[in-house]
Structure 1
Amino acid sequence: MKLSAIVLNGVSAFDMLSGTSHKCGGLNPKEELRIGDLNNELMSIEERMHMSLSTEKIVGGRQVDDIKNWNWIGQLGGYCGGSLVADDMFLTAAHCCESTRIGQTVYFGVLNPWEDQGKAQKRKVSEMLNHPDFDRPTLTHDICMIKLDSPIDQDRNVRPICLADSASPKNTPAYVAGWGLTSEGGPQSRDLMEVSVPIVTNKECQNAYSHRPVDDTMFCAGKKEGGEDGCQGDSGGPIVTVDGDGKVSLAGVVSWGVGCARPGKFGVYSRVDTQLDFIHWSIQTLR
Structure 2
Amino acid sequence: MLKAIVLLSCVAAALADCGKPAVDPVNTFIVGGDAAMPGSWPWQVGIRKNYLVGQGGYHMCGATLIDNQWIVSAAHCFYRWKRLSDYTITLGSHDRDEVDSTQVNAKLGGIFVHEDYNSMTLDNDIAMLKLETPIDFNDAISEACVATSDYPADTMCVVTGWGDQEAAIDNAELQQVYVPIIDTKVCNRPSWYNGEITDNMFCAGYSSGGMDSCQGDSGGPFVCKNSAGAWELTGVVSWGYGCADPLNPGVYTRVTQYNDWISGIKRNN
Fold-level similarity (TM above 0.5)? yes
CA contact (8 A) 1:181 1:187 kept: no
Normalised by the size of structure 1, how large is the TM-score?
A: 0.78
CA contact (8 A) 1:176 1:238 kept: yes
Name the aligned partner's letter for residue 201 of structure 1: D
Specify which of 63, 77, 83 is matched with residue 101 of structure 1: 83
**Structure-2 separation of matches of 1:100 and 1:177:** 24
Using the TM superposition, name which of 95-104 and 152-161 deviates more: 95-104
Task: Give 1:266's aligned residue.
Answer: 249
Specify which of 127, 132, 155 is matched with residue 149 of structure 1: 132
How many percent of aligned residue pairs carry the same amino acid? 36
Specify which of 162, 168, 173 is matched with residue 156 of structure 2: 173
Gaps of 5+ in 2: 1-9, 24-29, 49-58
Task: Give 2:118's aligned residue.
Answer: 135
1:234-270, CA deviations, whole angstroms, 9 ceiling, x for partnerless residues? 0000000012331211101100000000011111000
CA contact (8 A) 1:181 1:189 kept: no
Task: Give 2:223's aligned residue.
Answer: 240
1:1-287 equivalence runs, <5 A: 33-34=15-16, 36=18, 38-39=20-21, 58-67=30-39, 69-77=40-48, 78-98=59-79, 99-103=81-85, 104-117=87-100, 119-183=102-166, 188-207=170-189, 208-210=192-194, 213-286=196-269
**Structure-2 separation of matches of 1:188 and 1:180:** 9
Q: Which has the higher strand share?
A: 2
1:154-189, CA deviations, whole angstroms, 9 ceiling, x for partnerless residues? 0011011110011111100010000000118x6554
**Structure-1 separation of matches of 2:22 and 2:90:** 14
Name the aligned partner's letter for residue 45 of structure 2: G
1:92-121, CA deviations, whole angstroms, 9 ceiling, x for partnerless residues? 000012245302110010211321255411
**Structure-2 separation of matches of 1:279 and 1:40:** 26
Partner secondary structure for residue 279 of structure 1: helix
**Structure-2 separation of matches of 1:187 and 1:126:** 35
The 3 A distance-change label for structure 1 pair 117 and 65 is closer
Using the TM superposition, name which of 212-221 and 167-176 deviates more: 212-221
Name the aligned partner's letter for residue 36 of structure 2: V
Normalised by the size of structure 2, how large is the TM-score?
A: 0.84
CA contact (8 A) 2:145 2:230 kept: no
CA contact (8 A) 1:180 1:189 kept: no
| Total equivalences in the alignment | 240
Name the aligned partner's letter for residue 62 of structure 2: G
The 3 A distance-change label for structure 1 pair 148 and 82 is same
CA contact (8 A) 1:40 1:72 kept: no
1:125 shift after superposition: 1.2
1:201 shift after superposition: 0.9
The 3 A distance-change label for structure 1 pair 258 and 187 is farther
Task: Give 1:45's aligned residue.
Answer: none
1:114-169, CA deviations, whole angstroms, 9 ceiling, x for partnerless residues? 21255411111111111111111001110000110111110011011110011111
**Structure-2 separation of matches of 1:116 and 1:179:** 14
1:274 shift after superposition: 1.0
Name the aligned partner's letter for residue 179 of structure 2: V
**Structure-1 separation of matches of 2:117 and 2:169:** 30
Name the aligned partner's letter for residue 84 of structure 1: L
**Structure-2 separation of matches of 1:129 and 1:224:** 34
The 3 A distance-change label for structure 1 pair 95 and 139 is same
The 3 A distance-change label for structure 1 pair 161 and 135 is same
The 3 A distance-change label for structure 1 pair 141 and 188 is farther
Name the aligned partner's letter for residue 61 of structure 1: G
CA contact (8 A) 2:154 2:181 kept: yes
